[in-house]
Amino acid sequence: MDAVVFDLDGVLVDSERTWDEVRRAVVAEHGGHWTDAATRAMQGMSTPEWARYLVEELGARLTPERIAEVVVDEMAKRYADGPPVLPGAEETVRAVAERYPVAIASSSPPVLIKAFLEATGLTGLVRTAVSSEQVAAGKPAPDVYLRAAELLAVRPQTCAAVEDTTNGMRSALAAGMAVYAVPNPHFPPDPAVLAEVAFVLDDITELPSRL
């Protein structure tokens, strides 16, 4: 193995429910209607993709550009006192970084990835961080993982990816990476996709001993 690439939301930061809460509130405030399928559909999407979804599929009466700005601004406010780092996440990244180059491949915008790195003091240990805003397509497309491997100068087939959701796992699998799943208890992944991963972990802190 040449490198380890971490997802952010749901793996290192307990933010999946916060994203859901903020998007629901913005859609309701601007005349849209939430659907049962919306949460899972948007998991892994890049900012432009989920912004279009809120407008085109859920009927929010803002432009995609404006609704993205409103949602990300509210998320930044929620992070003002520090992002909700999951227990053991920072220590796990530090332990893994002692043995392998580490990257982040996330659907969060760069400003929120930066907030996490600065709050945890991991900026110097994480070799590169890629947002799906910076590639052609968000998860489940493999673009963000392929770009992370490219920036690390390693082949994706020699990387491990750490993911929690169905679309995230599909993205890493499509990139050819060995997936270490930490299933999100609030949004359980598709069992068929979970069956394709290399390892299923009960807790992020198990990762260093499994690599």
Q: For residue 43, what pLDDT is reported?
A: 87
CATH topology of domain 16-78: DNA polymerase; domain 1 (1.10.150)
pLDDT above 90 (res 176) = yes
Q: For residue 186, what pLDDT is reported?
A: 86
d(CA 40, CA 92): 27
Do residues 149 and 5 make contact, with C-beta atoms less than 8 angstroms apart?
Answer: yes
H/E stretch holding 161: strand 159-163
Mean pLDDT value across residues 29-48 = 92
pLDDT above 90 (res 44) = no
Q: For residue 17, what pLDDT is reported?
A: 87
Q: For residue 27, what pLDDT is reported?
A: 97
Q: For residue 82, what pLDDT is reported?
A: 85
DSSP H stretches of helix in the chain: 16-29, 38-42, 47-56, 64-78, 89-97, 110-120, 143-152, 166-174, 191-194, 207-210
* CB-CB neighbours of 37 under 10 Å: 9
Instruction: Show Cβ contacts of residue 173 under 8 Å, excluding neighbours closer than 6 positions.
Output: 179, 193, 196, 197
H/E stretch holding 129: strand 126-131
Q: For residue 48, what pLDDT is reported?
A: 94
Amino acid at 94: R
What does pTM read for this prediction? 0.90
* CB-CB neighbours of 119 under 10 Å: 17
Question: What mean pLDDT is reported for the chain?
Answer: 95
Q: How do residues 117-164 score in pLDDT, each as one tens digit?
A: 999 999 999 999 999 999 999 999 999 999 999 999 999 999 999 999
Per-domain residue ranges of the chain: 3-14+83-210, 16-78
Q: How do residues 77-106 score in pLDDT, each as one tens digit?
A: 888 888 999 999 999 999 999 999 999 999
Residue 171 tokens read as: 């993205």
Q: For residue 79, what pLDDT is reported?
A: 86
β-strands 159-163, 3-6: how paired?
A: parallel
Mean pLDDT value across residues 62-66 = 97
- Comparing 44 with 155, the larger pLDDT belongs to 155
User: What CATH homologous superfamily does 3-14+83-210 map to?
Assistant: HAD superfamily/HAD-like (3.40.50.1000)
Q: For residue 71, what pLDDT is reported?
A: 95
Q: Do the domains at 3-14+83-210 and 16-78 have one common CATH topology?
A: no
Mean pLDDT value across residues 99-118 = 95
Q: How many residues does the chain have?
A: 211
d(CA 64, CA 53): 8
